[in-house]
Amino acid sequence: MRIAVDAMGSDNYPSPDVEGAVQAARMYSDEILLVGDRETVETELKKHDILGLKITIVHASEIVEMTDKPSVVGKTKPDSSMHIGMNLVKDGEAQAFVTAGNTGAALTIAMLYTLHRIPAVKRPALSSIIRVHGNYVTMVDIGANTDSKPEWMVQFALMGDIYARKALKLERPRVALLSNGEEKGKGNQAIQETYEILQAYTHLNFVGNIEPKDILNGKGDVVVSDGFIGNITVKSFEAFGSALSGLIRSELKRDPISAMGGLLARRAFARVSRQIDPFEIGGAPLLGVNGVVIIGHGRSNAQAIRNAINQARLAVSGDIVQSIRDDLIVSR
């Protein structure tokens, strides 16, 4: 594959972005297009052994900073690494674009200035992939649309189902609505109306409402919400995982017996840590635009960038964009 990577995306660019790209090029033997300031990227690349790897630098003179306003940066920085990277996908010179940059800017640039919406899609949606009991759960939307209409959330469900089936290889993913109760009739008006519509989609494995605790209990494979609630939920999960890890480390140091128990259980703790570490996934797709765009955390390290590139590979191999295009035209 040929995948474009935003070399100027992460909080600590270009170090983790370049290192992760080098790791991915070595692991998957794909061609990586590093998009960013040529001199800066070349200097960083010299720190790595890239002999035999297919890595090309594509120059971009401008950088989208985390502090940039999405509504402004789309117009004022047309030569940014985000613009250039997404245009590579648009022009067929790359099959996917991976960035750990400003999420709002990535959404705006993709929708309004480069890739644009798939025609049948009413609103693109941000997704997040979390691991629960060793399985993947796709959450959508997690921030692109703060006030979603029922017909939008129905499409979120359809796109999430496609991604779970085509990219994550789940045979019949369970699609659920995030609500404040499991019973039909719970939730606000939008949730109740979405519930009624989804029941009519017989090809979906719609399992009804679930609460946040049910996500962690593995009761859904695709969890649908509006962007406001989805964003809060994902950030709460991440904060809880980080706080829990810190609390366990602190308690293990309180006395010698606890410390000894921690040493004996360190392999189990390592397995748990991998389960809740967002860098193990790396990034998740922006669903509903005319091209594969994977967005990762701003604080991504090299491991996260490498894994985000792998998510791009899964989306490309699953032909996600065409599948969404075909399915939503039929469903409309």
Both 138 and 255 in a single domain?
A: yes
> What pLDDT, on the 0 to 100 scale, is given for residue 251?
74
Reported as a pLDDT band with limits 50, 70 and 90, residue 272 is low
Domain-ending residue, one of 260, 280, 300:
280
Q: What does residue 149 show for φ and ψ, rounded to 5 degrees?
A: -85, 155
The residue with greater pLDDT, 330 or 221, is: 221
Average pLDDT, the chain: 90
- pLDDT average, residue stretch 103-114: 95
Number of neighbours of residue 42 by Cβ within 10 angstroms: 14
Both 155 and 100 in a single domain?
A: no
Per-residue pLDDT tens over the stretch 178-187:
999 888 888 8
Half-sphere exposure of 322 (CA within 13 A, CB side): 5
Location of structure tokens 């193990």: 280
Both 212 and 314 in a single domain?
A: no
Residue 295 forms beta bridges with which residues? 99, 284
Both 134 and 91 in a single domain?
A: no
- pLDDT average, residue stretch 129-135: 83
CATH number assigned to the domain comprising residue 211: 3.40.718.10
Per-residue pLDDT tens over the stretch 30-87:
999 999 999 999 999 999 999 999 999 999 999 999 999 998 998 999 999 999 999 9
Both 324 and 194 in a single domain?
A: no
Both 184 and 219 in a single domain?
A: yes
Per-residue pLDDT tens over the stretch 198-218:
999 988 999 999 999 898 888
Residue 58 forms beta bridges with which residues? 35
Per-residue pLDDT tens over the stretch 110-124:
999 999 999 999 999
**Residue range of the domain that includes 36:** 1-121+288-332
> What pLDDT, on the 0 to 100 scale, is given for residue 307?
95
Half-sphere exposure of 59 (CA within 13 A, CB side): 3
Number of neighbours of residue 37 by Cβ within 10 angstroms: 19
> What pLDDT, on the 0 to 100 scale, is given for residue 237?
76
- pLDDT average, residue stretch 6-34: 97
Counting the structural domains of the chain, the total is: 2
CB 228 within 8 A of CB 146: yes
Both 89 and 181 in a single domain?
A: no
Of the listed ranges 81-95, 147-161, 267-281, the least confidently predicted one is 267-281
Q: Characterize the bridge pairing of strands 283-287 and 55-59.
A: unpaired
Domain-ending residue, one of 240, 261, 280:
280
> What pLDDT, on the 0 to 100 scale, is given for residue 29?
93
> What pLDDT, on the 0 to 100 scale, is given for residue 43?
97
pTM of the predicted model over 0.85:
yes
Residue 213: in which H helix or E strand, if any? helix 212-216
Both 10 and 31 in a single domain?
A: yes
Both 129 and 271 in a single domain?
A: yes
Both 258 and 180 in a single domain?
A: yes
Whole-angstrom distance, CA of residue 317 vs CA of residue 332: 25
- pLDDT average, residue stretch 310-324: 95
Domain-ending residue, one of 280, 297, 321:
280
Reported as a pLDDT band with limits 50, 70 and 90, residue 277 is low
- pLDDT average, residue stretch 158-176: 95
> What pLDDT, on the 0 to 100 scale, is given for residue 100?
96
The most confident of the ranges 43-47, 237-241, 268-272, 275-279 is 43-47
Both 263 and 131 in a single domain?
A: yes
Both 181 and 317 in a single domain?
A: no
Tell me the C-alpha to C-alpha distance, in Å, between residue 279 and each of 62, 90, 107, 111, 302.
Answer: 27, 27, 21, 26, 9
Q: Of all residues in the chain, what percent carry a pLDDT higher than 90?
A: 69
pLDDT at 331 over 70: no
Of the listed ranges 45-49, 237-241, 303-307, the least confidently predicted one is 237-241
